[in-house]
Amino acid sequence: MREQRASHYQQQSRPAQQESDEDEEDDRLYETRLPTSTRRYHTTSDQRTVTRRPHYEVEVHRGYTIPRRASQQSPPARQQAPPPETSTHPPPQGMHWVFYLGVAMLVMLLGWFVLSALLSWWQVTQDDWHYGRPRTYQTDARVGHHDNVTPSHFLALNLHGQSEVIEFPGGDATQAKVYLGPVLSGPGADLVPVTVRFKDVTGDGKPDLVLQMGEQSVVFVNDTVDGIMQFRPARAGEASGL
């Protein structure tokens, strides 16, 4: 009974067997062994034989294909981190001696500016203590304008750059005389101290007035003008004894 059914099934499934034989021949070309999980199922006369096979992936190797099962695929290789980059620059070296020389000169220059500003401030401060603002200087001297005994009072001023001397003969303010000196110019001209001193520069035995403004000096000769003893500006060549 079983043999009759088998012969009947063989006659009905010859086309399916022929296809399976062709597949087996193709498999033999690759010399692979089917896994044990592969099974063939024979159906009834009106159904074809279906062969279930596992999923294969194919890779190319030396000009022919080699099937590989999906379960046997090797995991992707891990990407290795690139090696750390090494610097090709040479190690830093010490600064050139010219650099240190330039720094030293710069420090000296800055120090000179600071010292100059400090000295200028100190000088102005001292002049403020001594002469005030405006710059004022006072002194007494016997010049013979009142008598030979009573001294005259002299007041030297720097009024906004204009130098001048006020004389009070014998101390009498009603007889005051004003002698104008040169006008000072430049930065801080109104802060230049103005002083007076007395010296015989003409050699006539009478004290003359020397107006001093910083490094500049002006001579007023002691002479008789309009019958009155007073000072007048020196002429060319008269101040040779200064």
84-143 pLDDT, tens digit per residue, is 666 566 656 677 888 899 999 999 999 999 999 999 999 999 999 999 999 999 999 999
Residues 50 and 106 in one domain: no
Q: Is 28 a residue whose pLDDT tops 60?
A: no
- 37 belongs to a structural domain: yes
* pLDDT class of 38 with cuts at 50, 70, 90: low
Angle at 53 between CA 50 and CA 57, to 5 degrees: 140
* pLDDT class of 238 with cuts at 50, 70, 90: confident
- 92 belongs to a structural domain: no
- 159 belongs to a structural domain: yes
Residues 164 and 224 in one domain: yes
Residues 139 and 221 in one domain: yes
- 85 belongs to a structural domain: no
Would the pTM count as exceeding 0.75? Answer: no
What stretches of the chain adopt beta strand conformation (E)? Answer: 39-41, 50-52, 56-61, 64-69, 135-141, 152-159, 162-168, 177-183, 194-199, 208-213, 216-225, 228-233
Tokens of 37: 């999980």
How many C-alpha atoms does 164 have within 13 Å on its Cβ side? 12
Residues 152 and 225 in one domain: yes
State residue 61's pLDDT score. 47
Residues 139 and 220 in one domain: yes
Q: What is the dihedral of CA 122, 123, 128, 131, to 10 degrees?
A: 160
Would strands 64-69 and 135-141 be described as parallel, antiparallel, or unpaired? unpaired
Residues 177 and 227 in one domain: yes
Residues 211 and 196: beta-carbon distance below 8 Å: yes
- 118 belongs to a structural domain: yes
- 238 belongs to a structural domain: no
Residues 170 and 143 in one domain: yes
- The residue from 20, 50, 71 where one domain ends is 71
Identify the domain containing residue 221 by its residue range. 132-233
Q: State the residue for tokens 């014998």.
A: 170
Number of domains in the chain: 3
- 89 belongs to a structural domain: no
How many C-alpha atoms does 149 have within 13 Å on its Cβ side? 0
**Whole-angstrom Cα distance, residue 188 to residue 160?**
10
State residue 79's pLDDT score. 66
3-state SS assignment for residue 141: strand
Residues 156 and 189 in one domain: yes
Residues 124 and 137 in one domain: no
Residues 105 and 26 in one domain: no
Other Cβ atoms within 10 Å of 149 Cβ, number: 8
- 164 belongs to a structural domain: yes
Residues 105 and 152 in one domain: no
- The residue from 89, 112, 131 where one domain ends is 131
